[in-house]
Amino acid sequence: MKNFTITALENGLDNVQGFYCNAVNAGLRPDKEQGDVAFIRSEVLCDISAVFTRNTFQAAPIRHFQKYPQGFQTDFVLINAKNANAMTGPKGIEDIDTIMSTLRNKLNVTNPVMSSTGVIGYRLPVDKITSAFDTLDFNASNSDKAARAIMTTDSFKKELAYRVELDNGEHFTIAAICKGAGMINPAMATMLCFITTDADIPKKDMDELLLEGTEHSFNRISVDGDTSTNDTVMLLANKRSGAYNKEAFAEALKQIMFELAMMILKDGEGANKLVAFEVKGALTVEEAQKASMALSNSLLVKTALFGEDPNWGRIASTIGASGIACDERKLTIHYDDLLIYSDAFRELDAEREERAYRIMKQEQFRVTCDIGLGEASYTSYGCDLSYEYVKINAEYRT
């Protein structure tokens, strides 16, 4: 039995005591109504855990972050859109240092960090950014504005907050803003997520739970197979509430990250369907993961989803091509609860096809492939490919 309750709150990061966030348009983005430079400020130095892209060419802000000693504390995160500050060499680090020293002079911050998203290969417009500090209110908190400022091809802002009440009467808050767009945004696949909390969480738990949360959320959605130079997930904890319970925090963090990941998928341009690809009965978790990710990344499968084509052939073919141990006589495939392929019957009869079609009409459904060889399972999440161009292929069979 759970000894805590989790309640959703409005207004994202604004809920977490001791943190401030805001944004301004520094002229990086043509639309002056929307910010392009945002910050998250903490009243005190706070613990920070981060997960970064595995791309070898990590962007300058990530390399800058890693120059701080292990376990350092931060009191300021600066985020900009429209310029990734990636592949900018030593100059990219120098530019961050320049911006940071301006910030230190102006605000008395100690260990500022930075995060960027946008085009690769251009120097940051340092003057524009530092000039904008003059008009930026660092004592306000406007999560909405910050969440909008970090958007690139996103079509809606992504922010969430939860209040966690423990059964001893204590409570803490956890909140996040996030940007990233689904598979269908190869132009800018960078994913950024900033989470703040006033929970009294030990640094060790932060590291452990952030990794675990990432593995169960952002690492399970099919973006476009490319890993950006800038992908970043950060968790900042100022411990202000004095309240903590590991199980409760883990649950709230997992929930917030999973929901943000689903928001990213839903923001795939033109994507209409959100599909869970569960692979079970595999010999190992690695094999289940390999097959599950193959399904959520497959153009073959994505176009079939869009075409609402109940033919299971592309699902099976993708499993077969994934390189995992499998056998067509042991495999079964379900769409939600409907068995759609097994060795016992192969061709779809009209009734089953009609039922499958009704399931595929839904905005969300589940594809379950039971490999029938072992006990391991893995679920990843994908969306359909719903562009006009795909129509040609999706309608191929009809």
- Which residues are at the interface with a second copy (CB under 8 A)? 54-58, 84, 86-89, 91, 119-123, 152-153, 184-189, 224-229, 269-270, 297-300, 302-303, 311-314, 316-321, 323-324, 326, 328-329, 341, 343, 346-348, 387-390, 392-394, 396-397
Q: Is 152 annotated as a binding residue?
A: yes
d(CA 270, CA 384): 9
Kindly state the tokens that stand for 96: 């961050």
CB of 251 to a second copy, least distance (A): 32
Q: Nearest to residue 384, comparing CAs of 231, 272, 287?
A: 272
Cβ proximity of 360 and 305 under 8 Å = yes
* 271 to 173, 388, 391: CA distances (angstroms): 32, 12, 13
| Residue placing its CB nearer to a second copy in the complex, 64 or 239 | 64
CB of 358 to a second copy, least distance (A): 19
Half-sphere exposure of 23 (CA within 13 A, CB side): 26
| Residue placing its CB nearer to a second copy in the complex, 119 or 140 | 119
Residue 130's region, left for phi above 0, alpha for psi from -120 to 50, else beta, is alpha
CB of 50 to a second copy, least distance (A): 19
Q: Nearest to residue 21, comparing CAs of 105, 126, 102, 115?
A: 115
Q: Nearest to residue 115, comparing CAs of 225, 236, 257, 214?
A: 236
| Residue placing its CB nearer to a second copy in the complex, 139 or 389 | 389
CB of 309 to a second copy, least distance (A): 9
| H-state helical runs in 79-176 | 89-107, 126-132, 143-149
Dump strand ranges (E) for the chain.
4-9, 19-24, 37-52, 73-80, 112-116, 158-166, 171-179, 192-197, 232-237, 274-282, 332-335, 338-341, 364-370, 376-383
3-class DSSP assignment, residue 141: coil
Kindly state the tokens that stand for 102: 């301006």
CB of 55 to a second copy, least distance (A): 4
Q: Nearest to residue 233, comparing CAs of 173, 185, 181, 191?
A: 191
| Catalytic residue flag (residue 190) | yes
- Of the listed 74, 117, 173, 190, which one is catalytic? 190
Q: How many CB atoms lie within 10 A of CB 61?
A: 29
| Residue placing its CB nearer to a second copy in the complex, 74 or 298 | 298
Q: Is 269 annotated as a binding residue?
A: yes
Give the CA angle between residues 8, 12, 18 to the nearest 5°: 110
CB of 335 to a second copy, least distance (A): 14
| Residue placing its CB nearer to a second copy in the complex, 248 or 324 | 324
| Residue placing its CB nearer to a second copy in the complex, 71 or 121 | 121
Q: Is 393 annotated as a binding residue?
A: yes
Q: Is 179 annotated as a binding residue?
A: yes
Kindly state the tokens that stand for 342: 């097994």
List the binding residues for substrate. 152, 179, 190, 269, 393, 398
List the binding residues. 152, 179, 190, 269, 393, 398
Q: Supply the residues annotated as catalytic.
A: 190
